[in-house]
Amino acid sequence: MSLKKTLLASAMAFAPLVAMSGTASAQPTSGIYIAGGGGFNWAQDTDISSAGRLTNALQDRNRSTRGEIQFQTGWVALASIGYGFGNGLRAEIEGSYRENEVDSIKGFGGTTGATGRARTYGAMANVFYDIDLGYLGLTNTFFNVQPYVGAGIGWQWRDFKDISANVLGARDLSTDSGDGRFAYQAIVGVAAPLHQFAPGLSLTAEYRFLGTLENDVDTTTRFSENNSVTFGRGTTKSENFNHSVLIGLRYAFNPPVPPAPPAVVAPAAPAAAAPAPARTYLVFFDFDRADLNERARQIIGEAAQNSSRTQTTRIEVAGHADRAGNPQYNQRLSERRAQAVAGELERRGVPRSAMTIQGFGENRPLVQTADGAREPQNRRVEIVLR
């Protein structure tokens, strides 16, 4: 299967699952998470050379003493555990395994009967950054996925298992060797929240490039002449570059954080067309955060429960921020907070069509402060039942 066709198939498989994510907003990962995935792996061609009497025989016949191993499309699987800092940055430890069957061995003036496989496995330490689409003017109201980029370093082992081919005779070129080297990788991906199935669950699609320093590969040659068999053994430098496309899942545990200030339930002025007074619930956030702690979820649960008990005709969800940071960033932060609360209300049975969701940035503070000041009472989302 070609790389182009496999990328297209992966995109088609990912598309309906993104649609299933609905309008739940993608939030920065906070706390411990686990992840895993699998997919296709392409291993680049690897150089190999002859040794001993086979080298002399090839030279006597004016044939090349070098060749390259070409691989079929293989597979990759990985698992990781990491920690999200709530501001877009994540760090993790990953274990991975890749395997590719030999497709052919070129060079040496012609070969036949190539067999064997190559395996690459090891551990990597990765750092990721989840990209805030608000910087591009794209809010989560329209885009429910979160792109991310990453890089990693670690150690990978390269094993050649029973790779052999016929050059001048039967099975006269073979290698069955392993070698570990420093490894590095680059990652680009996108995550789609699946909060309707489980809070903290996301579907991921990734491309990864993994490379290592050159491996030392032991090459054995067998040459038969005049009823005598001689063997030669040599070491060949082998490149190890891999291109992988994966689909996976990531689950964030969202451990408890210190409780936010208690909910404030205050009567509002009666609406002109509604005899019952409006009820307001305040959900508070930590500094520069848009994720929900346990206390926030309790408040949202109470609002969702009361919305079904009373004759509520409209639910207003308004996000706010304090004056620390620039106004443009605070506007996006307030929108993310409002989307996080709206997503939790929806998870608790409140239809999104019944909500009006807005972000007001730092423009409507509960407590007046100087520019640049941090104020916990202003880092909030107001839920108003009318």
DSSP one-letter string for 311-322: T---EEEEE---
| Structure tokens that stand for 269 in this block | 């002025």
The encoded tokens of residue 361 equal 């940035």
The dihedrals phi and psi of 56, each to the nearest 5 degrees, come to -65, -40
Whether 196 has a pLDDT exceeding 80, the answer reads: no
Q: Higher-confidence residue: 256 or 29? A: 29
Q: Does domain 266-385 have CATH number 3.30.2080.10?
A: no
Cβ atoms of residues 144 and 22 within 8 Å:
yes
Per-domain residue ranges of the chain: 3-252, 266-385
Catalogue the E-assigned strands of the chain: 30-43, 46-49, 66-71, 74-85, 89-107, 112-130, 146-166, 173-193, 201-225, 228-252, 266-267, 279-284, 315-319, 355-359, 380-385
Instruction: Identify the pLDDT of residue 169.
Output: 77
For residue 372, the SS3 value is: coil
Exposed, middle or buried, 376 (CB in 10 Å: 0-12/13-18/19+)?
A: middle
- The amino acid occupying position 332 is R
The mean per-residue pLDDT over the stretch 307-328 comes to 85
Closest CA to 329 of 25, 161, 107, 87: 87
Three-state SS for 140-174 is: CCCCCCEEEEEEEEEEEEEEEEEEEEECCCCCCEE
Share of the chain above pLDDT 90, in %: 38
Nearest alpha carbon to residue 205 among 5, 4, 18, 1:
18
> What pLDDT does residue 127 have?
97
Q: What is the mean pLDDT of residues 199-223?
A: 87
CA distance 41 to 77: 9
Lowest mean pLDDT across 85-94, 307-316, 353-362: 307-316
Residue 107's beta-bridge partner residues?
67
Helix (H, G, I), strand (E, B) or coil at 342: helix
What sign does the CA torsion over 368, 369, 371, 374 have? negative
- Dump pLDDT digits (tens) for 12-50: 544 544 444 444 445 677 789 999 999 999 999 988 887
Residue 315 has pLDDT above 60, yes or no: yes
**What average pLDDT does the chain have?**
82
Query: Which residue stretches of the chain are H helix?
Result: 3-20, 52-60, 294-309, 327-347
Question: What confidence score (pLDDT) does residue 256 get?
Answer: 42
289 DSSP 8-state letter: -
What was the pLDDT predicted at 231? Answer: 62
Give dist(CA 63, CA 167) in Å, integer: 10
Over its C-alpha atoms, the chain yields an Rg (Å, rounded) of 29
pLDDT interval class at 4 (50, 70, 90) = low
Which CATH architecture describes the domain 3-252? Beta Barrel (2.40)
Report how far apart, in Å, the C-alpha atoms of 196 and of each of 202, 245, 264 are.
Answer: 10, 26, 28
- Top-confidence range, 170-184, 200-214, 365-379: 200-214
Compute the average pLDDT of residues 292-320. Answer: 87
pLDDT at residue 12, rounded to an integer: 52
Beta bridge partners of 223: 230
- pLDDT tens digit string along 47-90? 888 777 778 888 888 888 888 899 999 999 999 999 998 788 99
Encode pLDDT of 177-190 as tens digits: 888 999 999 999 99
Residue 223's pLDDT band (cuts 50, 70, 90): low
CA 256 to chain centre: 24
| pLDDT the model gives residue 55 | 80
Q: How confident is the model at residue 205 (pLDDT cuts 50, 70, 90)?
A: very high
CB-based contact 181:215 (threshold 8 Å) = yes
CA atoms within 13 A on the CB side of 239: 10
